[in-house]
Amino acid sequence: MKLITCCSFKGGAGKTTALMGLCSALAAKGKTVALFEADENRPLSTWMDNAVENGTWDERCAVFVADELGLLEEAYERAEASGFDYALADTHGGSSELNNTIIASSEFLLVPTMLTPLDIDEALSTYRYIIELLVAENLHAHTAILQQRVSVGRTTASQRAAAALLSALPQFALPMYERDAFAAMKKRGMLHLTLAQMSGDPAMRLMRRNYETALGEIAALGAFVSATLEA
């Protein structure tokens, strides 16, 4: 079981959105996914409840509450014993022993960020913290920046300048664009199953196209993460 973590010390950076999208992409490829919820606000549990109600939850996935060290250890043991292909961890804001344990146990760390000066500063601080922790513990994990909520149209000069600050760091080539499909995941459920529900409704043609594009983009992220871990 491969542990992938979305990590940001700043709330609202888009880590939960990235994790939900990545889960959908992996499940769409037939992979089983355990979701470790270390955020005490329980956004993943809410996502699952909404998806179950809408008929858009993939049974190959399961949410494990892991907002304490003991619960994290129990969740990991249960997920590994059940033979899940991947585990995705959603950290809480700030530094803590729980976050340190998740980071040190991860094989891939994604640091989502929006292209604002404040978000870039926080992403750089998070990235530096991760690297220093891994070096101190003599550990290795793949780490990459993921640009979040990037406009599908023309970016501003300030956004381009912010992106330039990240250019020296490893990052996924494509951002997660600002799409309704991503913004609505928490209420609507998993991307691939929401898209499947739309397939028979002609009135949903335009929305379906948006979802197809979004799923293709997040599938590329899933393929990138999987290929990196397999290599």
In the chain, the amino acid numbered 215 is L
| Residues 123/111, Cβ–Cβ less than 8 Å | yes
**pLDDT per residue over 44-71, tens digit each?**
999 999 999 999 999 999 999 999 999 9
| Residues 63/84, Cβ–Cβ less than 8 Å | no
Task: Give CA separation, 133 vs 103, 106, 141, 219, in Å.
Answer: 8, 12, 11, 30
Burial of 155 (0-12, 13-18, 19+ CB in 10 A): middle
**In angstroms, rounded to a whole number, what is the distance separating the alpha carbons of residues 206 and 124?**
37
What residue ranges define each of the domains in the chain, with the CATH number in brackets? 2-230 (3.40.50.300)
**pLDDT per residue over 97-145, tens digit each?**
999 999 999 999 999 998 888 888 888 899 999 999 999 999 999 999 9
**pLDDT per residue over 18-41, tens digit each?**
999 999 999 999 999 999 999 888
Pair of tokens at residue 200: 């028979």
The whole-chain average pLDDT of the chain stands at 90
Does this model's pTM top 0.85? My answer is: yes
pLDDT category of residue 161 using cuts at 50, 70 and 90: confident
**pLDDT per residue over 167-215, tens digit each?**
888 888 888 888 999 999 999 999 999 999 888 777 778 788 889 999 9
**In angstroms, rounded to a whole number, what is the distance separating the alpha carbons of residues 15 and 106?**
15
Q: What is the pLDDT of residue 24?
A: 95
Sheet order of strands, 2-6 included: 61-65, 33-37, 86-90, 2-6, 108-113, 142-150, 176-177
Task: Give CA separation, 96 vs 47, 56, 67, 133, 183, in Å.
Answer: 25, 34, 11, 12, 28
Q: What is the pLDDT of residue 230?
A: 85
CA dihedral 102, 104, 109, 114 (to 10 degrees): 70
